Amino acid sequence: MKEKKTSPYHHGNLKEELLQTALEMIDKEGLDTITLRELTQRLGTSRTAVYRHFASKEALILGVIEKGYEHLNLLFTPIFQDRTHSVAVRFEAMGRAYLDFAIEHPNLYRLLFGENFRQEREEICDYKDENQATGLYALIGLLTEAQEEGIIAQVNPMVQAAMVWASIHGLASLLIDGHLIMSDNMEAIYEYSIGVLLKGLQ
Amino acid sequence: MKEKKTSPYHHGNLKEELLQTALEMIDKEGLDTITLRELTQRLGTSRTAVYRHFASKEALILGVIEKGYEHLNLLFTPIFQDRTHSVAVRFEAMGRAYLDFAIEHPNLYRLLFGENFRQEREEICDYKDENQATGLYALIGLLTEAQEEGIIAQVNPMVQAAMVWASIHGLASLLIDGHLIMSDNMEAIYEYSIGVLLKGLQ
DNA sequence: CATTTAATGTTAACATTGTCAACATATATT
DNA sequence: AATATATGTTGACAATGTTAACATTAAATG
């Protein structure tokens, strides 16, 4: 908000800006290539200022992950909860939004859904379970709705959700990691995948 | 084969042992934590001996990736080509072997099917296309067989293969990266997934 | 308001790691 | 046997995350 001409000794909002800038840097350059020195330099502070707000680089990244999940929730929740559209339409829109995010932000996608901080991440996700709209639980809700409408078979929705998530996640991962050399076929693959899923779930 | 008591100046087979030991280290400890110093120390050579055989650490890892693909081909080809079993049985066995490998060797799995060396990897895979049994092409072959038997719909088998691979890859990735907290349900999820795929592909 | 305390930021230094240059030694070639 | 090539070693360097000691500002307390 308020900007001093000569940068003051105390930054004022460093913790939040560290998280924000780190997220942007990871988004653009990837997790492996970002460095604390470049991050702090970009904010006009010294290298070790980070350690007044985070115990380590890993702790900072973990904060970025948390921020990323919140961001994604805000992006996906409206799609899940939009009852003006049918379950099937929402299902398809959800998958498309998920894929779009992965393709537009591959580095962030890997950060949130890759191998990083497996252990610590579970803590973040655990306390997020309260938020009903988040991630897997939103999908479970949608599938439960679909079961009630008789669109899909009445199977343990958690198992169904895992299967569906895995399919879309796998497609996103293979694409952004360059294992499917057919970017032109992408739309066809996605539409076919949704079709196979909806038919297979019946 | 032949061991001198006093280690000679020339190692004799260093390049191959570098690849083999690097592969074992990555398998056990993961790609990010291995270091050239520890690798060479384990082989009794000096840190920089690597550079007589590889241009860089990345080049070495790329060699490990290549070795890993060959290993996997040897593991999967018999399953694909075993005509004593039906297509459906082979399909299910293939997925299970794929998942088992990922779970037993998560670090190797990430190395081979993750984001690493996207660009360089395509070169490796390209010249491997000649080998008909490798990776995606083996799956395409199996799906083509299934189409001929009328088990699944006659759609572009490359699209089908991408969808199927994505599903199993996604399941493997979510599991080894700790995004599915239900290891007890794993068998159920896998069997259900194969069922959904076979039904959806019809 | 004055003083003390806590929070926040800086500088210097260190260990680790990948990499290169210069040198050493063994193997291959002629 | 002499030379050239391949292979291995040592020392050094830059980059990076991290810690310790110090500096400065904001907050708390009287």
Q: How far is CA B60 from CA A29, A38, B53, in A?
A: 23, 28, 8
**Do A90 and A132 have their domain in common?**
yes
Q: Does A170 fall in a domain?
A: yes
User: Distance, in angstroms, between A15 CA and closest chain B CA?
Assistant: 27
pLDDT at A120: 80
CATH number of the domain that B49 lies in?
1.10.10.60
**Do A126 and A163 have their domain in common?**
yes
Please write the tens of the pLDDT for every residue from B103-138. 999 999 999 999 998 878 777 665 555 454 467 888
User: Distance, in angstroms, between B19 CA and closest chain A CA?
Assistant: 23
Q: How many CB atoms lie within 10 A of CB A175?
A: 21
Q: How many CB atoms lie within 10 A of CB A48?
A: 10
**Do B13 and B43 have their domain in common?**
yes
Nearest residue on chain B to A170, judged by CA atoms? B170
Q: Is 90 exceeded by the pLDDT of residue A8?
A: no
pLDDT at A80: 87
Mean pLDDT by 10 residues, chain B (202 residues): 47 91 98 97 96 98 96 91 94 96 97 90 61 72 96 96 97 94 83 98 96
Torsion angle in degrees (nearest 10) through CA of B74, B79, B84, B86: -160
Average pLDDT, chain A: 89
Are A17 and A42 in contact by the 8 Å Cβ rule? The answer is: no
Q: Does B3 fall in a domain?
A: no
Residue type, B156: N
Q: Does A2 fall in a domain?
A: no
Q: Does B83 fall in a domain?
A: yes
C1' of nucleotide C10: residue with nearest CA: A46
What average pLDDT score do residues A64-88 get?
Answer: 93
Q: Is 90 exceeded by the pLDDT of residue A6?
A: no
Cβ–Cβ below 8 Å for B171 and A166: yes
Task: For chain A, give the percent of residues with pLDDT over 90.
Answer: 77
**Do A22 and A108 have their domain in common?**
no
Task: For chain A, give the percent of residues with pLDDT over 70.
Answer: 88
pLDDT at B182: 64
Please write the tens of the pLDDT for every residue from A176-195. 999 987 667 899 999 999 99
Least confident of A4-13, A46-55, A92-101: A4-13
Please write the tens of the pLDDT for every residue from A29-71. 999 999 999 999 999 999 999 999 999 999 999 999 999 999 9
**Do A44 and A66 have their domain in common?**
no
Q: Does A1 fall in a domain?
A: no
**Do A175 and A100 have their domain in common?**
yes
Q: Does A5 fall in a domain?
A: no
| CA A83 centroid distance within chain | 23
Q: Is 80 exceeded by the pLDDT of residue A130?
A: no
CATH number of the domain that A142 lies in?
1.10.357.10
C1' of nucleotide C24: residue with nearest CA: B9
**Do A37 and A64 have their domain in common?**
no
Q: How many CB atoms lie within 10 A of CB A81?
A: 13
**Do B61 and B45 have their domain in common?**
no
In sequence order, the 6+-apart residues with CB closer than 8 A to the CB of B125 are: B69, B134, B135
**Do B165 and B72 have their domain in common?**
yes
Q: How many domains does chain A have?
A: 2
Establish, for the pair of chains A and B, how many residue pairs have beta carbons separated by less than 8 Å: 132
Give the distance between the most distant pair of CA atoms in chain A.
Answer: 65
| CA A71 centroid distance within chain | 8
Nearest residue on chain B to A114, judged by CA atoms? B177
Containing domain of residue A25, as a range?
10-54
Q: What's the rounded Cα separation, in Å, for the pair B53 and B64? A: 13
Q: Does B2 fall in a domain?
A: no
